[in-house]
Chains A and B, each alone.
Chain A
Amino acid sequence: MEERGMMGRRDFLLNLGVIGGIVVAAGGSLIHALRFLLPGMARPAERRIRVGTLTSLSEEALFRTIGGVPFVLVRRGETVRAFSSTCTHLGCQVKWLPQEEKFFCPCHLGYFDANGVNVAGPPPRPLDEYKVEMEGNNIYIFLPLPEQGGIEA
């Protein structure tokens, strides 16, 4: 009887070892395979970029894309602001309506005013704003540029 019990325990430990080993090996591989599927999770670092001069910027909104990141410059007198032109609802590109002085998103009819504030439609928050620095006539903005990969516009 004693011995039977010992064997049972040994078998149990053996099974535990074999099954545990398989689970750990498979699970470990699976975790790394899943990680393989998730590149570029971190938000890219901001870089300071010269985007033009004040004198060449009209009062209209100016849309540009640098390194795959689309943005828009809005000039009001001597101040310039930079917004992401990506709609905060589901990511379409907004357009500028010169008469109404508003941004308009064609996807689900969202509207933002010239300060980027969501004023109508489904967008849940204002357009993202990028920091602007003026150096004399030169305009610099701080743009989050992805390190690698990604489609160029």
Chain B
Amino acid sequence: MTANERKSFWSERLPIDWELLQHPLREPVPYHMNFWWFALGGTPLILLGIQVATGILLTFYYVPSPPEAYESIRYIQNVVPFGWWIRGIHHWGATLMILTVWLHMLRVFITGAYRRPREFNWLIGVGLLFATLAFGFTGYSLIYNQLSYWATTVGTNIFKDVPVVGPLILSFLRGGLDVTANTLTRFFSVHIGVLPTVMVILLAVHVLLLRVHGVSELDPKDTRRIVFFPDHVLTEIIVGFYLMLILTSLAILFPPPLGELANPASTPLHIKPEWYFYPVYRWLRLVPGTVGLVGAGLFLLVLTFWPAADGLLERWFPKRDLSVVLGSLVAVTVAAAMVWEAFVV
């Protein structure tokens, strides 16, 4: 077969216009995309890839049934070759993914990249944030040790105070009014089936909108450009290698704890959710009951529809850049609540 024949063999069977495909690949993007801080969205994307790969591997041994769940994780951690590595990466990958989603959001907030015409992508981004947090919450419950069991109990119970539909939401989350075997299987399917599907759909829309709008400019006078491929793709590959290095080091130096098997009859003395729920935890301890819940709901509502709220602020106070002040204030408060919860009992 000559080269020409080979070419026609493939182009006949895969009648794709490669020239056309070059176009999106060669898309010019602003020069600042060379810097990690401004291209932060790519980091949780890479981490999602890592979570999917390690997560699928974990399902080969994980058993989603009450006492065996804990035992199967012990087996993964201590017996399966490199099980500690896969689980360690999945554990720390989740932490970094949540952290970098927040950082990405903060960057978008500070540079005002959510403003017209990109409001919808902020909305999709909030959906991605919720999906990531839901991944963390459901994944943590799968370990079925004391801390994760009680975190699941308390975390789902928060919804019982929702006016009118509280019990309905509770049964929907738990598969019954109490935390039972139904809860574990439910969280497992959500963690490995529902959330990945939702996430991939949201991401596809997020990236599509990003591409049709183009990356927002920081400084309209800066006309320097790089191309998406290979320039930016190479940056992301480098980030990916750094991430694997960091995750492996964390898995070795700080292996995720196994804890004690869950005991529904006894709550341990010191319980706390995972660090990313510290601010909510602190808030609900300060302001318990329906008031705290409504407050948290309002915060999430404003966060979700921030582009609209920001539009109003600009109309009322046209001279001042209130959003940056407000955003920084919220970020500092949330970080302070996290530190407070972490170091003060």
Contacts and interface: CB of A to CB of B under 8 A. Distances in A.
Contacts of B175: 37, 39-40
A94 to B, nearest CB: 8
B67 to A, nearest CB: 8
Interface string A29-45: 00000000111110100
Contacts of A149: 176, 180-182
Interface stretch (B40-48, B150-158, B321-329): B150-158
Interface residues of A, number: 28
B267 A107 contact: yes
A109 to B, nearest CB: 8
A90 B153 contact: yes
B49 interface: no
A93 B270 CA distance: 12
A124 interface: yes
Given A92-B154, A107-B150, A146 B178 contact: yes
How many chain B residues sit at the interface, stated as a range, is: 20 to 34
B176 A108 contact: no
B177 A40 contact: yes
A108 B171 CA distance: 23
A21 interface: no
B263 interface: yes
Interface stretch (A53-61, A63-71, A132-140): A63-71
SS class of chain A's interface: helix, strand, loop or mixed?
loop
Interface in B209-223: none
Given A106-B270, A124-B289, A41 B177 contact: yes
Contacts of A95: 267, 269
B263 A153 contact: yes
B331 to A, nearest CB: 26
Nearest to A109: B285
B172 interface: yes
B22 interface: no
Nearest to A34: B172
A107 B289 contact: no
A68 B176 CA distance: 13
Contact of B269 (A106, A122, A124, A146): A106
Interface string A96-120: 0000000001111000000000000
15 contacts: A37-B172, A38-B172, A41-B167, A68-B178, A91-B154, A106-B269, A107-B150, A122-B288, A146-B176, A149-B180, A150-B181, A150-B182, A151-B180, A151-B181, A153-B264
Given A43-B177, A90-B153, A92-B150, 20 more contacts: A40-B182, A41-B177, A70-B264, A90-B158, A91-B154, A91-B157, A92-B267, A93-B267, A94-B267, A105-B267, A106-B269, A107-B154, A108-B285, A124-B289, A149-B181, A150-B176, A150-B182, A151-B179, A153-B263, A153-B265
Interface of B: 66, 150, 153-154, 157-158, 167-168, 171-172, 175-182, 263-271, 284-285, 288-289
- 3 closest cross-chain pairs (CB), A and B: A122-B288, A40-B176, A150-B180
